[in-house]
Amino acid sequence: DADVTQTPRNRITKTGKRIMLECSQTKGHDRMYWYRQDPGLGLRLIYYSFDVKDINKGEISDGYSVSRQAQAKFSLSLESAIPNQTALYFCATSSPGLSTDTQYFGPGTRLTVL
Amino acid sequence: AQSVTQLGSHVSVSEGALVLLRCNYSSSVPPYLFWYVQYPNQGLQLLLKYTSAATLVKGINGFEAEFKKSETSFHLTKPSAHMSDAAEYFCAVFNDYKLSFGAGTTVTVRA
C-alpha cells in the first residue's frame, strides 16, 4: 500500500463549485504540505502544516483553504473553483530530521476547472 | 530567500549517452539541495540530497550530483542513459522549513 494517498486522482468540475482534495498518510509524519504543479513553473507551495494545530500559508494560498483533521489527514479545499486553478496537486509529508526534511509525495490529483 | 534555477526545460539524449541536468542555487547560507524525479503520471520521488557532508552525492538509479560552492551549482549526472530515465527532474532547495523547487527539466531518451 502507498504511504501517501490522494483522492480523487482526477476531477473535472465547473467554475464556482466547491472542491475538496484529500490526503492521507501512513508514514507517521507530523509535517504535511500541499503543492500545485503547473507546466514550466515547477511545484509551488499552497499550505503546510507542522502538526494538527499548526497551519501555515505558502506562496500561493489565495483561493485555497486547508484542514488538518488528524496527524494522518490533510485536506485542501477550493471554495469557489476558477479555471486558473486547473493544475496537478500534490500532497507531501515529512518528519523533521537533524538538519533537513525529506519530503515524500503522493501520486497527485489532476484537477480541471471548466 | 534561497532559490534554484534549472537551466534547460528539455534535454534529449541518446540511450547510453551522458545525462547532465543543470541546477544553480542562490543562497546566503550553506544550502541543503535535492533532486527529485517525476515519472509520467506519478508523484515525485527523491533521487538524492546534499546536506553539507560529501560534495559528491550518489543517488538511486545510477544518478549522482556534485555540490560546487564556487560555481553555486548542483548538477545531476548519469554516465549512461537508459530508456527508463525518461521523466521530469526537479532541483529543490530546503528553505525555511520548506522546499523551493526549480521549474523542472524534462528528459527524453532516444533509442
* CA-based nearest distance B62→chain A, Å: 20
The pLDDT of residue A1 is 57
Q: How much is the average pLDDT of B10-34? A: 92
Residue B95 predicted with pLDDT over 90:
no
The residues with which A56 forms a beta bridge, in sequence order, are A48
Contacts of B33 in chain A (CB under 8 A): none
Report pLDDT for B97: 75
What span, in angstroms and rounded, lies between the C-alpha atoms of B24 and B6?
A: 6
Four-point Cα dihedral A50, A55, A60, A66, nearest 10: 110
Do the Cβ atoms of A92 and A105 come closer than 8 Å?
Answer: yes
* A50/B97 touch (CB, cutoff 8 Å), yes or no: yes
Q: Which of A40, A42, A106 sits opposite B43 (nearest CB)?
A: A106
Q: Residue B33's closest chain A neighbor by CA?
A: A100
For B69, residues 6+ apart whose C-beta sits below 8 A from its C-beta are none
Query: Residue A97's pLDDT is what?
Result: 67
Residue, of B46 and A96, whose pLDDT is higher: B46
Q: pLDDT grade, residue B2 (50/70/90)?
A: confident
Residue in chain B lying closest to A89 (CA): B43
pLDDT for res B29 = 76
Split at pLDDT 50, 70, 90, the class of B28 is confident
Any bridge partners for residue B78, and if so which?
B19
Q: What is the Cα–Cα distance from A21 to A46, expressed in whole angstroms?
A: 13
- Ordered per-residue pLDDT tens for chain A, 114 residues: 569 999 999 999 999 999 999 999 999 899 999 999 998 888 999 999 999 999 999 999 999 999 999 999 999 999 999 999 999 999 999 987 655 678 899 999 999 999
B33 vs B95, residue with greater confidence: B33
CA–CA separation, A78 and A75 (whole Å): 10
Q: Cell numbers at residue A60, please?
A: 500561493
Cell of residue B32, nine digits = 541543503
Give the pLDDT of residue A13. Answer: 96
- Alpha-carbon dihedral sign for residues B90, B95, B99, B101: negative
Mutate to test the interface with B, among A25, A88, A105 (most CBs of B within 10 A): A105
Kindly report the number of other CB atoms within 10 A of residue A57's CB atom: 13
Q: Which one of B99, B100, B101 would you mutate to disrupt binding with A, by most A Cβ within 10 Å of its Cβ?
A: B99
- Is A97 or B12 the better-scoring residue by pLDDT? B12
Number of helices (H), then strands (E), belonging to chain A: the values are 0, 11
* pLDDT tens per residue across span B65-83: 999 999 999 999 999 999 9
**In 3D, which of B81, B83, B85 has the Cα closest to residue B35?**
B85
Band of the pLDDT at B31, cuts 50, 70, 90? confident
Q: Which residues in chain B have Cβ-Cβ distances shorter than 8 Å to A108?
A: 41-43
- Residue B27: pLDDT band (50, 70, 90) is confident
What is the reported pLDDT for A2?
A: 66
Percentage of chain B modeled with pLDDT above 70: 100
Q: A107 vs B1, which has greater pLDDT?
A: A107
A35 closest CA partner among A24, A20, A46, A25: A46
